[in-house]
Amino acid sequence: MPVLQPIGRMFLSFLEATGRLTLFTLVSLSHCVRPPFYPRLIGRQMLEIGYFSLPVVGLTAIFTGMVLALQSHTGFSRFSAEGAVATVVVLSITRELGPVLAGLMVAGRIGAAMAAEIGTMRVTEQIDALTTLSTNPYKYLVAPRLIAGVTMLPLLVLVADSIGVFGGYLIGVYRLDFNPASYLTRTWEYLEIMDVVSGVVKAAVYGFIIALMGCYHGYHSTGGAQGVGGATTNAVVSASILILTFNYVITALFFSS
Amino acid sequence: MTTPKLELTDVHKRFGANRVLDGFDLSVGRGESVVVLGGSGTGKSVMLKCILGLLHPEAGSIKVDGEETVGIGQRERDRINRQIGMLFQGAALFDSLPVWENVAFGLLAQKRCGRRSARDRAVEILGQVGLGERIADLYPAELSGGMRKRVGLARAVATRPAIMFFDEPTTGLDPIMSDVINNLICSSVKDLGATALSITHDIASARKIADRVAMIYQGRIIWAGAVAEMDQVDNPYVDQFIHGRAEGPITSGMAG
Ligand SMILES: Nc1ncnc2c1ncn2[C@@H]1O[C@H](COP(=O)(O)OP(=O)(O)OP(=O)(O)O)[C@@H](O)[C@H]1O
Ligand SMILES: [Mg+2]
């Protein structure tokens, strides 16, 4: 049947990819918890993900906070409810926009870099060389990135939350003429611990997704520079889609009951 | 008869419809240096990768020290690879590490010494391949092709492995430096008692480093013998290859 054949083939290759990704995830996780560990490599990745992403994430957060304040003020002034601006800003930032935007920015920055680096190592046989030098590539390349991703993204998001709220404050106080003290009170008043916690949990999950997709696509890249380019694109696109998907799932888990 | 250090029997490896190894047999004795000759694309590099477990043959047996290695688990594989040093055809240096850390990588990975003494050892081995201490702190991207090859060679021999694989050790080197490398390979085999399996297109180098020569054609060994017999052999394939003639039974470019 020439019509059914391609469908069947697509379905099979989908199953194959799913199986391969699952296996990759399990093997990688098992290497995250078994010695030997590489503290130098973990440190380097933490610096790369946590510290060097600060400018990008900070800029994204401050402008998002500012625009949120402006837009929600426009909306709420129509109901004479301008007082809600501070609350809307802090809730949107901590629950959704902080983790999602930081996740997407880091996916573009770090996920791409990971896929390109590991992909180049794959096509130039450096990964083969690692195994012949009694070093497991999962331990040496994948585990440090996963550990750094899971630990650094939550910290980045806490910073992004603070900067985002500060951006809202700037607009609120200097543009919309709120009283500084009452803006801050409004910010704290309705903020619950779960709002921040859910954002931090999301961040850890996104950090895992970004590092996993970067490593997975890099590790399985084939065919020279073109293959590495494809792996980089796939890493960023799949990480972004997974981030948005898991954003919904985690939100539903935390707040639907 | 003692067990050979390496023994490949009837190994088959193909990529899709391309049968690269098709009933490949080879055995290398302890302390012996064997050179495999063969045209481009005949599966020489694939053979080494099968022995290292980087590629998995569909059929056949590969024994290291009499121990079957086809289909073994990761732990046994790590133990076996620990006694093997490999020079990759493209050197495969780690770009993120300076030259000395590349050379000392195996020593550090096996925790045989601290970083300081590993660096000293790396500089010493770099000297043996004709590279000065100056380049120890450079990165691979800053080296020429021939320098990279020599760093790869230094990395392969740094842990003094019992088995050494050299994929085209002298390609891209000037004749004098080629001879330095040939001497290094000879001394590794003679003085350290290592077993070496090398691939080369360089007949002069083969004459110097080989105890025995084997010729691969269409996925199998068509001739093997002592290096001295190479010139008297009446196998037309071998004759054509070692004299580098375009006319003969091996048709250019279409082999395999
Ligand atoms: N990963 C791979 N996927 C598909 N085909 C491959 C792969 N590796 C090697 N081949 C094929 O196997 C054949 C042998 O390749 P190999 O690299 O062993 O050649 P070689 O004998 O080392 O040649 P050269 O002397 O040019 O290095 C080639 O036809 C190549 O196309
Ligand atoms: Mg080759």
Nearest-angstrom CA–CA distance, B78 and B75: 5
- Is the residue at A19 inside a domain? no
Mean pLDDT of A17-39: 92
The two tokens of residue A84 are 């809600």
Q: Whose CA is nearest to atom 2 of ligand 1?
A: B15
Domain containing A147 equals 39-255
Minimum distance, in Å, between the CA of residue A139 and any CA atom of chain B:
12
Nearest-angstrom CA–CA distance, B79 and B76: 5
- Is the residue at A15 inside a domain? no
Closest-CA residue to B23 (of B217, B253, B255, B195)? B217
B33 by DSSP, 3-state: which?
A: strand
Q: Give yes or no for a contact between A214 and A145, defined as CB atoms under 8 angstroms apart.
A: yes
Nearest-angstrom CA–CA distance, B119 and B141: 20
Q: What is the side-by-side order of every strand in the sheet holding B195-199?
A: B84-87, B163-167, B195-199, B33-38, B212-217, B220-226
Mean pLDDT of A179-190: 91
Minimum distance, in Å, between the CA of residue A150 and any CA atom of chain B:
23
- Is the residue at A186 inside a domain? yes
- Is the residue at A7 inside a domain? no
Counts of helices then strands in chain A (DSSP H, E): 12, 0
- Is the residue at A228 inside a domain? yes
Residue A257: which pLDDT band, with cuts at 50, 70 and 90? low
What are B77-126's pLDDT values in tens digits? 989 999 999 999 999 999 999 999 999 999 998 877 888 999 999 999 99
pLDDT at B246 over 70: yes
DSSP conformation class of B71: T
Mutational test site, ligand 1, from B21, B45, B88, B220, max ligand atoms within 8 Å of CB: B45
Mean pLDDT of A77-87: 88
Instruction: Look at A128 and B90 and tell me if their CB atoms are within 8 Å.
Output: no
- Is the residue at A24 inside a domain? no
Residue A83: which pLDDT band, with cuts at 50, 70 and 90? confident
Determine the distance separating the centroid of ligand 2 and the alpha carbon of B202, expressed in angstroms: 13
Instruction: Give yes or no for A131 touching B (CB within 8 A).
Output: yes
Instruction: Give me the torsion for CA of B146, B147, B152, B156, rounded to 10°.
Output: 100
Atom of ligand 1 nearest to the CA of B38: 21
Chain A nearest-CA residue for B87:
A129
Cis peptide before A154 (omega within 30 of 0): no
Report B:103-122 residues touching A (Cβ under 8 A): 105-106, 109-110
pLDDT at position B1? 60
pLDDT at position B61? 94
pLDDT at B69 over 70: yes
Instruction: Give yes or no for A16 touching B (CB within 8 A).
Output: no
pLDDT at B254 over 70: no
Residue B250: which pLDDT band, with cuts at 50, 70 and 90? confident
What are B195-209's pLDDT values in tens digits? 999 999 889 999 999
User: How far, CA to CA in Å, does B89 sit from each of A49, B200, B221?
Assistant: 34, 10, 21
- Is the residue at A134 inside a domain? yes
Determine the distance separating the centroid of ligand 2 and the alpha carbon of B40, expressed in angstroms: 7
What are B9-24's pLDDT values in tens digits? 999 999 999 999 999 9
pLDDT at B256 over 70: no
Residue B253: which pLDDT band, with cuts at 50, 70 and 90? low
Q: Structurally, how many domains does chain A consist of?
A: 1
Which residues does A243 contact at the CB level (< 8 Å), separation at least 6?
A: A100, A103, A104, A107, A206, A209, A210
Mean pLDDT of B30-55: 93
Q: Give yes or no for a contact between A167 and A63, defined as CB atoms under 8 angstroms apart.
A: yes
- The response to whether residue B195 sits with its C-beta less than 6 Å from ligand 1 reads no
Instruction: Look at A129 and B90 and tell me if their CB atoms are within 8 Å.
Output: no
**What region, left, alpha or beta, does residue B113 occupy, with left being phi > 0 and alpha being psi -120 to 50 degrees?**
beta
Minimum distance, in Å, between the CA of residue B228 and any CA atom of chain A:
33
What are B156-175's pLDDT values in tens digits? 999 999 999 999 999 888 99
- The response to whether residue B45 sits with its C-beta less than 6 Å from ligand 1 reads yes
pLDDT at position B255? 43
What are A209-239's pLDDT values in tens digits? 999 999 999 999 998 899 999 999 999 999 9
DSSP symbols for B151-191: HHHHHHHTT--SEEEEESTTTT--HHHHHHHHHHHHHHHHH
What are A158-171's pLDDT values in tens digits? 999 999 999 999 99
- The response to whether residue B33 sits with its C-beta less than 6 Å from ligand 1 reads no
pLDDT at position B113? 83
- The response to whether residue B178 sits with its C-beta less than 6 Å from ligand 1 reads no
Mutational test site, ligand 1, from B21, B24, B42, B88, max ligand atoms within 8 Å of CB: B42
- Is the residue at A163 inside a domain? yes
Average pLDDT of chain B is 90
Atom of ligand 1 nearest to the CA of B39: 25
pLDDT at position B252? 55
Q: Give yes or no for a contact between B82 and B110, defined as CB atoms under 8 angstroms apart.
A: yes
Instruction: Give yes or no for B164 touching A (CB within 8 A).
Output: no
